[in-house]
Amino acid sequence: MTPLGKRIVRRIASQGPITVADYMAEALTAPRYGYYMSGDPIGRGGDFITAPEVSQMFGELLGLWCVDTWQRMGAPASFLLVELGPGRGTLMADALRAARIAPGFCEAAALHLIEISSKLRDRQREALSGCPATWHDGIANLPDGPILLIANEFFDALPVRQFEHAAEGWCERVVVLDDAGELAFGLSPPSAAAALMVPEMLRKAPTGSLVEVSPAGLGVAAALGRRIAEDGGAALIIDYGSAETTAGASLQAVRRHAPHGVLTDPGSADLTAHVDFAALAGAAEGAGACVQGPVPQGAFLQRLGLAARADALTRKATADQARDIEAARHRLSDADQMGVLFKVLTVAHPSLGRLAGFD
C-alpha cells in the first residue's frame, strides 16, 4: 500500500468512516503524498493530457477571449488575470503570447495563480519565464479589483460527496475498512441531512440511484459570482461534465492514461468527477453574477476562430507539423473527441452583454 493509503487506513481506524469528498481531498492534495503534491502528472509521459497540452491553439484562443472581454470591460488600466489550477503553466503562457496583440493588455494584467502544489508552482514559474506572478492556495486570498479568470479542468479535481437512494432513504457513501483492513465503500445510515444534500429535483430518483454533489465546487462558483458582481469582470470555466443536474456516479481514477481503481493506491492516480454545470451556474447566479452557456467546447473554439488559427499555423508548417495541427484541431473540437463532452461556461458581470463564443 502507498504511504498515503496507510495514512488513510489509520485515520479511518481511529476516527471511523470518511466521506468520499474527504477521501478525494486526501488522495489529491494531502501534504507530500497527495497526487498533485508529489509530481507532474500532466502530459504524454504522465497520467492524462489536457487541452493546452494538446495544442498551443487552445491557450492562444483563450488569450484572445480575455482580450475581447477586457475591451468590453472598458479596458481597465489594471485588473487581475487569474488562473485556477494552471498545471504546467502552458495555457497561461500561450494566452499571454497571443494577448500581446492588444496594446496595454499585458501591462494592465496582474497575474495571480491559484495552485496548491509547490512542484507544479515551480513548473508554472518556468513556463512563464520572467513574467511576474503571485501564487495563492485559494481564491479567498485574491486582492480586490476587476478580474478575468480561467479554469481549465480545475473543477473536476474538486472533491465530491456521493449519496445513494437506499430503500430506507438517502444515505451518504463513505470509505470504510473491510474485514481484511482494506479500503472499501460503505453506506452511512439514512438521514434527513443526507437527503437535504441531494438536489431537490433528484430526491425522488429511483431506489439505487447515486447522486454526486461538490460543495467545494459550489463554494468556488458562488465566491466567483459574488466578487464578479461586486468588482466586475468574467470567469471562463472549461471542463467535462453535463449541462444539467443528473443522477449517476462519475468519480473515476486514471493512471498512465488508463482507468484505475478509485480506492487502489491512493495518491498514485488522478481522481476526477464530472462537473455539474447547472449547479455551478446556479451558485454563481445566486451570488449576483450572470452566466452564459455552457456551450460545447468544439462550438466555442470554432466561434473564437480555431479553423483560421489552424490554417495560419499550417501555412508555416512542415508536412509532419501540418498533420499534428490537424490532429490537434480534431482532438480539441470534434464531437467524438473533446468537442462535446467538454463544455464552457462563463460567469460574468451583468454589464458585459454577450461574450465571445457564447452567441
Collapsing DSSP to helix, strand or coil, 80 comes out as: strand
The DSSP letter of residue 42 is B
Which residues have CB under 8 Å from 324's CB, separation 6+? none
User: Interacting stretch for ligand SAH, rule CB under 6 A, among 1-9, 47-55, 177-185, 244-252?
Assistant: 47-55
Determine the Cα–Cα distance for residues 311 and 39; give it in Å rounded to an integer.
36
Distance CA 92, CA 120 (A): 13
Among 70, 154, 155, 170, binds ligand SAH (CB under 6 A): 154
Gap between the Cα atoms of 345 and 86, Å rounded: 18
Q: Between 1 and 30, how does the x/- string for binding to ligand SAH read (CB under 6 A)? A: ---------------------------xx-
Q: How far is the CB of 220 from ligand SAH (least distance, A)?
A: 9
Fill in the per-residue mask, 172 to 201: x = in contact with ligand SAH (CB under 6 A), - = not in contact.
------------------------------
Task: Output helix, strand, coil percentages for the chain, rounded to the nearest 5.
Answer: 40, 25, 35
Is 86 near ligand SAH (CB under 6 A)?
yes
Give the whole-angstrom CA distance, residue 4 versus residue 16: 17
- For cell 488522478, name the residue: 270
Grid cell locating 269: 492516480
Least CB distance to ligand SAH at residue 87 (A): 3
CA distance 56 to 335: 20
Q: Does 214 bind ligand SAH (CB under 6 A)?
A: no
Helix-helix angle 3-15:20-29, to 10 degrees: 150
Q: Of the ranges 153-161, 167-175, 198-206, 336-344, which one interacts with ligand SAH (CB under 6 A)?
A: 153-161
Size of the residue set binding ligand SAH (CB under 6 A): 20
DSSP 86-113: -TTSHHHHHHHHHHTTSTTHHHHEEEEE
Q: Is 85 in the site for ligand SAH (CB under 6 A)?
A: yes
Q: Of 27, 93, 99, 157, which one interacts with ligand SAH (CB under 6 A)? A: 157
Which of the 8 DSSP states describes residue 140?
G
Closest by CA to 236, choosing from 304, 311, 286, is: 304
- From 48-56, 293-301, 310-318, 333-341, give the range in contact with ligand SAH by CB under 6 A: 48-56
Start-to-end CA distance of the chain, whole Å, equals: 50
Q: Which residues of 221-246 are buried (b: 16+ CB within 10 A; e: fewer)?
A: bbbbbbbbbebbbbbbbbbbbbeebb
Q: Which of residues 87-146 bind ligand SAH (CB under 6 A)?
A: 87, 91, 114-117, 120
Q: Which lies closer to ligand SAH via its Cβ, residue 52 or residue 225?
A: 52
Q: How far is the CB of 113 from ligand SAH (least distance, A)?
A: 9
Instruction: Name the amino acid, one letter, at 111.
Output: L
CB of 218 to ligand SAH, least distance (A): 14
Question: Which CB, 65 or 170, lies closer to ligand SAH?
Answer: 65
Grid coordinates of 40: 507532474
From residue 273 to residue 302, what is the string marking binding to ligand SAH with x (rule CB under 6 A)?
A: ------------------------------
CB of residue 216 vs ligand SAH: minimum separation in angstroms? 7
Position among 22, 47, 94, 153 found at the interface with ligand SAH (CB under 6 A): 153
Longest dimension (CA), the chain: 65
Q: Which stretch binds ligand SAH (CB under 6 A): 148-156, 224-232, 312-320, 325-333?
A: 148-156
**Residue 221 CB, nearest approach to ligand SAH (Å):** 14
Q: Which one of 52, 266, 339, 357 is in contact with ligand SAH (CB under 6 A)?
A: 52
Q: Which residues bind ligand SAH (CB under 6 A)?
A: 28-29, 36, 42, 50, 52-53, 85-87, 91, 114-117, 120, 152-154, 157
